[in-house]
């Protein structure tokens, strides 16, 4: 495995691989890029911030781009399509690394991956002791929208009520339900993914229960809440709750 990005996730994966005697080349911003010069086949897991993707992809040789595995949160699929990378392997990581150098904390569900390098990546993660599964595009799209709604909804609600995700599920269920309903409508209009609201709320709060003291926030605007704002306007989907909450914390752009 080749991992690009020496932040929290990339460093933790490389360290875990070293501890278990598994192959892993860690590519940093200024070192290690020679690992990408070999023959195609070995997955290249991109563990960088969304905003760094253009710079990263530009440094990957053309003959290795089919090996890229994108595991970023947020709505990256439009950007991938623009870069002719729409058929790349995608993944959603259901584990956390609290800080740089900290160990991996396993979440409550396996990390789903989809695409040409999904099986190899899943096998590597499982060998690391990290639950992971390979799924088809339809299932991945549902997981993708679910996690996007989680980051966007809990981000704005945690900032609005100055609390953690566990408190939102315990004390702000009405606000959460209204917001999730709006965001899921945007997702349905844009992605063609229809997630039953009560099922979705159950999934979101089950995940929150595994990390109850986490304080989400509104960040990576273009890839999260900003995508919902722009896509709702483009699709003619009303989202008054979302807009009101964003305006209340001074994040509406």
Of 115, 135, 155, which one is at a domain's C-terminal end? 135
**213 plus 120 within the same structural domain:** no
| Number of structural domains found in the chain | 2
- Please tell me the predicted confidence (pLDDT) of residue 40: 86
- Please tell me the predicted confidence (pLDDT) of residue 214: 87
Supply the CATH number for residue 90's domain.
Answer: 3.40.50.720
**pLDDT tens figures, 29-71:** 889 999 998 888 899 999 999 999 999 999 999 999 999 999 9
Averaged pLDDT for residues 139-159: 96
**pLDDT tens figures, 104-127:** 888 778 999 999 999 999 999 999
**185 plus 218 within the same structural domain:** yes
253 assigned to some structural domain: no
20 assigned to some structural domain: yes
Which structure tokens are listed for 205?
């709060």
Which residues constitute the domain of residue 100?
2-135
Instruction: Assign 252 a pLDDT band (cuts: 50, 70, 90).
Output: confident
What residues pair up with 133 in beta bridges, in sequence order? 112
Which structure tokens are listed for 118?
């999904």
Instruction: Assign 229 a pLDDT band (cuts: 50, 70, 90).
Output: very high
Q: Across the chain, what does the average pLDDT equal?
A: 93
Supply the CATH number for residue 229's domain.
Answer: 1.10.1040.10
Phi, psi values for residue 79, rounded to 5°: -65, -40
**188 plus 107 within the same structural domain:** no
Q: Compute the distance between CA of residue 233 and CA of residue 149 in angstroms, rounded to an integer.
A: 17
- Please tell me the predicted confidence (pLDDT) of residue 240: 97
- Please tell me the predicted confidence (pLDDT) of residue 124: 96
234 assigned to some structural domain: yes
State the burial class of residue 208 (Cβ atoms within 10 Å of its Cβ: 0-12, 13-18, 19+): buried
- Please tell me the predicted confidence (pLDDT) of residue 78: 93
**10 plus 121 within the same structural domain:** yes
**127 plus 63 within the same structural domain:** yes
Q: Compute the distance between CA of residue 160 and CA of residue 157 in angstroms, rounded to an integer.
A: 5
Residue % of the chain over a pLDDT of 70: 100
**86 plus 125 within the same structural domain:** yes
**111 plus 204 within the same structural domain:** no
**pLDDT tens figures, 203-214:** 999 989 888 888
- Please tell me the predicted confidence (pLDDT) of residue 210: 84
Averaged pLDDT for residues 184-196: 95
79 assigned to some structural domain: yes
Q: Compute the distance between CA of residue 66 and CA of residue 26 in angstroms, rounded to an integer.
A: 18
The answer to whether 165 and 214 are in contact (CB under 8 A) is yes
Of 92, 110, 135, which one is at a domain's C-terminal end? 135
Q: Could you tell me which residues come within 8 angstroms of residue 237 by beta carbon, excluding any fewer than 6 positions away?
A: 182, 185, 186, 189, 231
- Please tell me the predicted confidence (pLDDT) of residue 100: 86
Q: Compute the distance between CA of residue 84 and CA of residue 80 in angstroms, rounded to an integer.
A: 6
pTM of structure: 0.90
- Please tell me the predicted confidence (pLDDT) of residue 29: 86
pLDDT(164) > 90: yes
**8 plus 130 within the same structural domain:** yes
Of 89, 112, 135, which one is at a domain's C-terminal end? 135
**16 plus 118 within the same structural domain:** yes
What residues pair up with 75 in beta bridges, in sequence order? none
**190 plus 108 within the same structural domain:** no
| DSSP designation for 28 | B
Q: Could you tell me which residues come within 8 angstroms of residue 105 by beta carbon, excluding any fewer than 6 positions away?
A: 95, 96, 97, 98
């Amino acid at each position: 495995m080749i991992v690009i990005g020496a932040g929290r996730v990339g460093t933790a994966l490389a360290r875990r691989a070293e501890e278990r005697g598994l192959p892993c080349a860690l590519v940093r911003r200024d070192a290690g890029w020679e690992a990408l010069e070999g023959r195609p086949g070995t997955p290249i897991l991109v563990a960088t911030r969304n905003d760094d993707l253009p710079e990263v992809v530009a440094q990957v040789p053309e003959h290795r781009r089919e090996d890229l595995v994108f595991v970023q949160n947020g709505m990256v699929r439009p950007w991938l399509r623009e870069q002719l990378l729409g058929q790349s392997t995608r993944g959603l990581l259901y584990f956390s690394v609290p800080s740089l150098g900290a160990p991996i904390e396993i979440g409550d569900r396996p990390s789903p991956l989809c695409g040409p390098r999904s099986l190899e990546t899943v096998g590597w993660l499982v060998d690391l002791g990290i639950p992971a599964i390979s799924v088809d595009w339809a299932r991945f799209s549902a997981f993708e929208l679910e996690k996007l709604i989680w980051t966007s909804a809990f981000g704005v609600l945690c900032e609005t009520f100055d609390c953690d995700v566990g408190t939102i599920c315990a004390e702000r269920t009405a606000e959460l339900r209204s917001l999730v309903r709006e965001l899921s409508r945007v997702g349905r209009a844009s992605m063609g993914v229809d997630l039953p609201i009560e099922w979705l709320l159950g999934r979101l709060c089950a995940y929150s229960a595994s990390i109850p003291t986490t304080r989400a926030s509104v960040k990576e605007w273009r890839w999260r809440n900003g995508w919902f704002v722009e896509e709702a306007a483009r699709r003619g989907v009303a989202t008054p709750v979302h807009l009101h909450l964003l305006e209340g914390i001074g994040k509406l752009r």
